[in-house]
Structure 1
């Protein structure tokens, strides 16, 4: 049985490691790919804008680098072939809104009628620079008119799209290769963690069992002293501490075992509604002894799959915790119903008790092992800060979750458990 459990836990940890590592690597690749392509797009835009500024200033494309001027051409590589490779046209817009083609001699793929049709679409964008299809444009205010310079960048756009497709394909291939490598490597990565966890579990279990012997001897000696000299305050205090240590040992053993995955052979279909009612009946005398009342609202026929003893332990922990830390006035309340999200097919168990001394920081740490929001109070009531950690472990093993929420003068412990598979 231990081999089965270790194998299940090993598989889950491997899967979690693979998903986490592959996800992180994929995100890094995505960021790198996006950064490179954005930089490439920005470079294309800057070069096009520099060329447009140069055309607007000189009215043509020079065959050699121009002299320093107001147009920034530092990112351009101009050669004798540049005038023959650059395709552009310019359109003037008068105050009356008339469009006039000023220069169409440097482009053959666009008719003058198309140029006049493109210009209004550019002006409607309310941006002085940008892309219109495969053209880069800029609008210059000449005072009494507007000049639109439109530069054909189809070759650059095609190159950009090709590079984008290739970079996405390369990143996808790298992510796939990383995933294939992570599958065998994950065994080495996860194995030391599991071995260390198993050592800790064995240490806690073995140490707890070893402590039972001296505790039993101390208890027997204390009984013998009481038989010889009659019980007194010293033997009674010793007995109380023996009981406290014995309970702590049992909790430590149970806590160590809680890390083990759920053994499917101990699972069955459970009527959680009946289990909740039974647990409430069991804790009602304890609550009434302290002058408290437990209200319950349980829907019928809520069925889940799990270990009945552990689920009963989970409900018992929450009820005992609610009774022990009851503060203020009002009833304790246990409710069990279908999750508000009907499509989730989950059961929602809520245990509520009046409580006024918890803060948001306490709520965030309530399920930490050995954490007690009020150490002196918990120590006085026999608490160890283990119960809620056990409850969380049980809920997790059953594929559910547990959380604590602060209400108006109360604290709610909400457990979500999946329904039995039909």
Structure 2
């Protein structure tokens, strides 16, 4: 189940990331492609010589020569890599204007290909290079004596060839680069996505396992009081003729079982309520010093039964803005826990101090202490470091979990310190 969930996270993340990356790369390539084509089109714009003729004057007729004229113009680095060929209406070469030293057969081949496809602009390969060409009809502008002019289309055409080898190579290299980067990025994204997908489901797996353990532990704990109630109920049924007074012992056992079950259910309800993020905690200013003293007074008799010495160090009139009932509940849980695990004639130290931003409550009790390996687990639900004393203390291992949940919901922090066979200290801090 969790593997499927992880794979869904992974596929979703890879799909979104890959789509965004592919769109970005496609946009880069399309923009580069359009820019290069625009530059090529600009350089191939019709540059056929517009011959200007003043009416009454005649220009020499180039068509009279049976041989084509070749003009080798000087090449300039600023000029585009191009050459021009003039042909007549039948595609016969009239003039070649080129800075390159190519044989006439190459020019003739280029002119033949271009003339056959004169209505389209395509690419021809000559001597290992790619040339894009465009064919335009040459025109003559005639200026009359009165200053007016008109244009006459001649039966001659100019074919301009532009070297696009580097442009094509640039586009090809860009495509290869984008594909290479895309493949590498997809691999990196897959590794990162897999890592974060595993990290994302870790809390879910942990919560699921804790939930399963919680249900199993709660069921186990409920079985004991239910068994007590059922067993004593059966005894009562077996002695129906007896009076209630003679059966008080069994009724007391039933009462003990119901009390234990009631306590467990109340603890479970408290945890469920505090875990519900929709449950609003009311924070109001109150005197925390008085709250601590009230809890100590209410539980002082329990400590006196074990002849436990109480040492108080409580700063007076510490005002905090929090939930007073929940704070009292946490202090009661910690005090009750300290009394349970303090041996007779032991000692409990309670302190309440404040700093510039925090108020700190701590309770330290002498006794057996908590083993180092058990300290990280003591706030887990149903966890008891000393399971042999469960029935003596009436503990279900939920008190500290409730205290931790409350303090965290109030924005505070709670932790424990212990040295085996010496002491245990529980401390929580709250902001003003």
TM range (shorter): 0.3 to 0.5
Q: TM-score, normalised by structure 2?
A: 0.45
Larger radius of gyration: 2
Q: Decide which structure has greater strand share.
A: 2
